[in-house]
Structure 1
Amino acid sequence: MSKAAQQVLDSIFAFPPNRETLGGTAYLIVGNPWNILVDCPAWTPENQSFIASHGPVQWLAITHRQGIGAHISQMQQTLACQIAIQEQEAYLLPNLPVTAFQDRLSLSDDSYLLWTPGHSPGSACCYDRRSRVLFTGRHLLPNLQGQPTPLRTAKTFHWPRQIRSLEKLQTSFTSETLQFICPGANTGFLRGRRVIDHAYQAICNLQPDRLRWVEIHDG
């Protein structure tokens, strides 16, 4: 039996890790004033029913190329939603109508995508102002201690850019505007907590010269 999506905050639900996206975690933001999917959940009957039960989806926001599921075409057609993706990775969806952006794209009055390259050329984070949550995709992931960090791997596109993107987040938010991080993988390292709390302080504690080569464990 498939696992069900889990509520992580009042208006945010996390889907089970998706094998099609290498164990990635997708999220649903509800009532903003419409719903937003962050990356692709597994396109199972259970997930389809869950999404439908929460009302229409206006946007499917892709945070990085690995967030694209194999059934994204069926997903877009069924939900009749718009797909938002950073312009450097829009070519990966040649037969789908997409909204490509350069640095920032507003999804609603309370949500936007912010380009944070490094993990991949078009890596982006999605911010929800109402919940003070940053969805970091694979730009920042929990380490073994459950703290957010950029993880340098053999597939990292450009490590210095990823560090500059971290610094961009440190200057773009404050402790008042950023409270939680919902990561796009490594959610098992949160040990049931589902979100990373005190998020702004956690990313400000990161010192680029101490970040090193580590291995991503998906799921």
Structure 2
Amino acid sequence: MPPATTKIPQAVFDTIFVFPPNRETLGGSAYLVLEKNAHGQSANILIDCPAFNQVNQAFIAANGGIHTLFITHRGGMAQVADFQKAFDAQVVIQEQEAYLLPAVTTNSFARDRILSPTSRVFWNAGHSPGSACLYHQPYGGVLFTGRHLLPNQQGAPTPLRLSKTFHWPRQLRHAQKLLSDFTPDTLSTICPGASMGFLRGEKKITRAYQQLQGLDWDQLKTAQPAL
């Protein structure tokens, strides 16, 4: 039996699960998206790295393993080689982050890549040089943003300027571009890669497009770096 303090992944939707925050990624949140290929075989996607412990490994195995491990940014990496070896997974990462995994066989991309008929990844530089998001079409459109967009204290999805932010104007441009790339009908939910406590018990950000639309983008341009 696992220790009583070990938390198990929680359902965000029927086929999307969020793992407990991982200390190895500074409290980052990883997700498992359940998918099947054209032959009905498991083609699951793990987004960033949860803790590599027995509970998480057993949960992943019980749900069909991992076909693809997608890394949203360099801060989402932890024990990538262990996950790849345990589940024989391909590791998909933007090319500007791939060099940080010299011991891992990676499948890198430049601007975007289609992972399945319902999931694709695309480059969204700013937080780090190779930050990227995953868009999952079901449920009205779910965007996994890593640390590109995080909930603020009101729970709204927001670009957050940090002392280690790679390029703030570029991050803002990419974030604002989401409003032209999507519509309220194609972007209903954001699953952020950290700061889940600001969601006050919720496991996702709803009305995602409308909340992005309501941000004060001019004020964000002058934001000072947080710690």
Provide TM-score, normalisation by structure 1: 0.95
Distance 1:32 1:156 in 2: 36
Which ranges of 4 or more aligned residues in structure 1 deviate by more than 4 Å?
none
2:19 is matched with which residue: 15, 20, 28? Answer: 15
Shift of 1:32: 4.4
Shift of 1:56: 2.9
- SS class of match (1:92): coil
User: Does structure 1 conserve the Cα–Cα contact (< 8 Å) formed by 2:163 and 2:225?
Assistant: no
2:136 is matched with which residue: 115, 128, 131? Answer: 128
Distance 1:93 1:124 in 2: 16
Provide the identity percentage: 53
User: Does structure 2 conserve the Cα–Cα contact (< 8 Å) formed by 1:152 and 1:159?
Assistant: yes
Amino acid aligned to 1:60: L
Distance 1:32 1:168 in 2: 30
Listed as ranges, the matches of 1:50-89 within 5 Å are: 50-69=59-78, 71-89=79-97
Distance 2:117 2:94 in 1: 19
Distance 1:75 1:50 in 2: 13
Distance 1:102 1:206 in 2: 29
Shift of 1:38: 0.3
2:177 is matched with which residue: 168, 179, 182? Answer: 168
- SS class of match (1:122): coil
User: Does structure 2 conserve the Cα–Cα contact (< 8 Å) formed by 1:35 and 1:59?
Assistant: yes
Shift of 1:130: 1.4
Listed as ranges, the matches of 1:118-157 within 5 Å are: 118-131=126-139, 132-157=141-166
Shift of 1:127: 0.6
CA offsets, 1:66-103, max 9 Å, x none? 0001x211110111010000000110011211111111
Distance 2:210 2:192 in 1: 16
User: Does structure 2 conserve the Cα–Cα contact (< 8 Å) formed by 1:105 and 1:112?
Assistant: yes
Matched, 1:49 2:58: yes
- Structure having the higher Rg: 2
Shift of 1:31: 2.1
Q: Where does the alignment leave 5 or more consecutive residues of structure 1 unmatched?
A: none
Taking a change above 3 Å as real, the CA distance of residues 151 and 32 of structure 1, as seen in their structure-2 partners, is farther
- SS class of match (2:212): helix
- SS class of match (2:82): helix
Amino acid aligned to 1:97: T
Taking a change above 3 Å as real, the CA distance of residues 200 and 44 of structure 1, as seen in their structure-2 partners, is same
Amino acid aligned to 1:133: V
Matched, 1:2 2:26: no
Provide TM-score, normalisation by structure 2: 0.92
Residue 114 of structure 2 is matched in structure 1 by 106
- SS class of match (2:99): helix
User: Does structure 2 conserve the Cα–Cα contact (< 8 Å) formed by 1:40 and 1:67?
Assistant: yes
1:38 is matched with which residue: 34, 44, 47? Answer: 47
Q: What number of residue pairs does the alignment pair up? A: 215
Q: Where does the alignment leave 5 or more consecutive residues of structure 2 unmatched?
A: 38-42
